[in-house]
Amino acid sequence: MVRVRFAHFSDTHLGFRQYGLYEREMDFYRAFEKTIAKIAEERPDFVLHCGDLFDAPKPPPRALWVAQRSFAKLKETGIPVSAITGNHDMLFRRGSMPPQVLYKDMGVRMLTEEEPFLMHKDIFIGGVPYHSKHYSESLRESLRVLSSKASKHAKSIIMIHQATDRHMPKAFELEISEIPKNFSYYAMGHLHARITESFGKGKIVYPGPAELWSLNEYEDYKRKGRGFTLVDLDGNVPEVQHVNIEPERELIRETVNAGAAEAKIRQLREEFQKMRKKPLLYLDVKEGGFDKSGLHELITAKLSDHVLSFRVSYVTEQDRPDRARIERSFDLPQINEILKELLHDEKHAKLAGMLFRSLSAGNEEQASKEAESFYKSMGGGT
């Protein structure tokens, strides 16, 4: 058998404008381009992208252009790409096509329900587009069919964009026991964390996105890094190597005691002045007796010129459990999907999501700016 080495990445969310900031949208483009450049440098036999290439099924023109230019570079080096759709980049309408189909001439092969697998030499590659929990039976059937076909081949890969009960117990679409165990490698997407585990006769891997999509990803990034995965299928068990892509700017989370806030803010300002790019700052202010208005004014006066954006959470001993719950939940990817279902309008759901995140972080000013910007873009007044 000829040695096969491939790259696996996912959840690049091109077009995502975090907190309504143009600079953050550009950060995601640069992270994607750096990932593609590094993959091309490694010269794998092929590339797998496991969903959420874009942040929305109708991405902005720049997002489409960045993807086209990047995939064209891979094609120039003779590296084909196989892809599936995630929940962010698919239209939930019968007969609709995801934006990835635009890149067929750039060597991107979409695995769909109609064409769910391909062969690379003697490697079987199957793929399943994202399924919501309402269509779990259809998902299970697709996995059973692909498992049957893969059983005829010594080496096989399955591409899945889903959360499992093992990895996201409170918001999963697929039970880990429902995944067939006869694949050599499980190329996963959807969870923004770096996870590598033995499963069946191979390994199940979530590579985690190169750029930080929410505050919830911070701890995983600090411990494990982010980027893409290089996989060697030569042995009996896949050999997995994680390749880190440094984020475009620092995301910093600090806890500040209210009584020592001024000294801490002065220290942070000195650190930020040395940074190549303005960071994103999250401050958890704890202990009681603080003046929220005065402290917010102090942070604005001392740090606003040195950070791209800041969020402040005020935590007392009494409300800390509730605050912790809010901080864990306000940036979960599922919120966007819930709002879409409730509002039946993608644009207003996106606005509602931005407002929810800003207000959950106690940033009324940012929420006001986001609402004003949205209604201006819709042709309304101020």
Residue from 49, 88, 192, 306 carrying the catalytic annotation: 88
CA Rg, the chain, in Å?
A: 22
The tokens describing 119, both together, are 């062969």
Structure tokens at 75: 């094609």
Supply the DSSP string of 264-278, one letter for each residue.
HHHHHHHHHHT-SSP
Helices (H) and strands (E) in the chain, counts: 10, 15
Q: Is 120 a catalytic residue?
A: no
Query: Contact at 8 Å (CB) between 125 and 90?
Result: no
Residues in contact with 143: Cβ distance below 8 Å, sequence separation at least 6, in sequence order? 128, 158, 160, 178, 179, 180
Which residues neighbour 196 within 8 Å (Cβ) at sequence distance 6 or greater?
203, 204, 205, 206, 229, 240, 242
Rounded CA gap, 286 and 330, in Å?
A: 19
Active site residues: 88
